[in-house]
Structure formats: C-alpha cells, structure tokens
C-alpha cells in the first residue's frame, strides 16, 4: 500500500484527489491548517484516511510532521501540494499584504512542505511530488497580478526541482488548472458558464497518473487541465 499526502486536502480539489486515491487502495494522509469536518472523515474507505492539523508555512511544524509520518507510517511515497489561495484585484489596489499572503499560501507552503518531506520521498522506490499551478501562471491575466506571480513561482520551482532530482527516483510535476468547478467558485461567480469548468475529478485523474509508478519517466512537466469538451 502506498502512502500519499494531500496538503489542503479538505477543500474542493483536495477532496476529489483524496477520493481518487482512496478508491485505488492507497493510504491517504491529509494535512490542513484546520481540523477536518465529520462529513469529510465519513467518506468511503475512511479507514485508510488519516488527517492532521499542520501549519504549512511553519518549517518547525513541517519538520515535526515529517518525523511523525516516518514514525507512524514508515515513509511517504507521494506528495500533492494543494494548499493555496487566490486574490482578485487591480494591480494598483493590490497591497503588499495581499502579495505577501499569496506568496505565503502558494509558494512558501509548497517550498517548505516539499523540503521537509523530500528525505522521505527519496527513500521511496517511486517518490512523487505534484504541485498546483494556474493558467494565469503561464500567460498572466488582468486583475490577478499577485496570484499569477505566486503561481508562476510554483511552476518554476517545479521545473527547477525536477532538474535537481533528475538522477533520483523522485519526479516533480505540476498541473495547471483554470477555474475549478467547486461550490465556492460557483457562489463567487454565479453568472459564469459552469459547463466550461473542469471538475475536481478531472484534475484528480491527471494527478493520480502523475503520482503513479507508471509516470516514472515524466518529470518537470507542467500540464494544462482546463479543456472541457
């Protein structure tokens, strides 16, 4: 049984990824800054689901968490970095605090979590890291300068670390979604065309492949997942 960690796994995308991993028989660890709800914990195959409260911006918290994973589960085979945030606003109205929040939520969490858990992944026969970019990271967009900048950093980090680890068994890849079809996104954009949005399950299919042993030859990839036929 593989052991996989999904950070931010209680959110809309995270829950979709967790369900996909559980369905294929993996042991799934979920970390988030808040305790998981009873509804989240009651999902099928829940005996293979383990949740933890972890501050992904704290190196100390993450070091302790890595030690706990090693002690309790004997190692780690895959990491999906989903913790993140979004900010919408004109550039002239985006404050330094807004920028810092995006860098903390999207870049710092990905960087520090991967750094803390990399020794465990290197000890696996097929360690996997999957990060979450964004469509705006590739081409930018109006009204999302801080968000796009932070996600561009995640994409570059993915490619850089993949090069650094190219002689190891660890692969590092990223998926790049646009708007994901989740209840919060529908509520915030009620007039949008929901039929054009990809679902968490759509992304989970791609993430599951990248986390699999079959993806051993794929590293440094940045995969767009925003086409809906």
Where in the sequence numbering do the catalytic residues fall?
A: 147
User: What is the C-alpha to C-alpha distance for residues 111 and 54, in angstroms, rounded to an integer?
Assistant: 15
Q: Are 169 and 125 in contact (CB under 8 A)?
A: yes
Closest CA to 20 of 80, 77, 84, 65: 80
- DSSP secondary structure string for all residues of 177-199: ESSB--HHHHHH-TTS-GGGSBP
The angle formed by the CA atoms of residues 88, 89 and 93, to the nearest 5 degrees, is 150
Angstrom CA distances, 44 to 20, 147, 212, stand at 11, 34, 21
Residues near 190 by beta carbon (within 8 Å), at least 6 away in sequence: none
User: What is the C-alpha to C-alpha distance for residues 10 and 19, in angstroms, rounded to an integer?
Assistant: 11
Partners of residue 177 on adjacent β-strands: 225
**How many CB atoms are located within 10 Å of the residue 110 CB?**
29
């Amino acid at each position: 049984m593989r052991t996989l960690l999904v950070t931010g796994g209680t959110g809309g995308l995270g829950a979709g990824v967790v369900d996909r991993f559980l369905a294929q028989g993996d042991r799934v660890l979920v970390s988030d800054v808040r305790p998981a709800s009873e509804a989240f914990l009651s999902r099928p195959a829940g005996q293979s689901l383990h949740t933890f409260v972890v501050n992904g911006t704290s190196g100390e918290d993450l070091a302790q968490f890595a030690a706990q994973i090693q002690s309790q589960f004997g190692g780690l085979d895959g990491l999906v970095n989903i913790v993140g945030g979004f900010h919408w606003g004109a550039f002239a109205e985006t404050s330094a605090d807004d920028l810092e929040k995006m860098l903390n939520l999207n870049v710092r969490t990905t960087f520090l979590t991967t750094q803390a858990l990399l020794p465990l992944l290197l000890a696996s026969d097929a360690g996997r890291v999957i990060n979450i970019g964004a469509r705006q990271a590739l081409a930018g967009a109006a009204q999302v300068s801080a968000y796009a900048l932070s996600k561009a950093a995640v994409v570059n980090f993915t490619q850089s670390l993949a090069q650094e680890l190219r002689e190891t068994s660890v692969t590092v890849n990223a998926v790049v979604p646009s708007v994901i079809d989740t209840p919060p996104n529908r509520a915030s954009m009620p007039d949008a065309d929901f039929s054009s949005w990809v679902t968490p399950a759509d992304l989970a299919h791609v993430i599951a492949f990248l986390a699999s042993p079959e993806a051993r030859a794929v590293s440094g990839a940045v995969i767009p997942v925003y086409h809906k036929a």
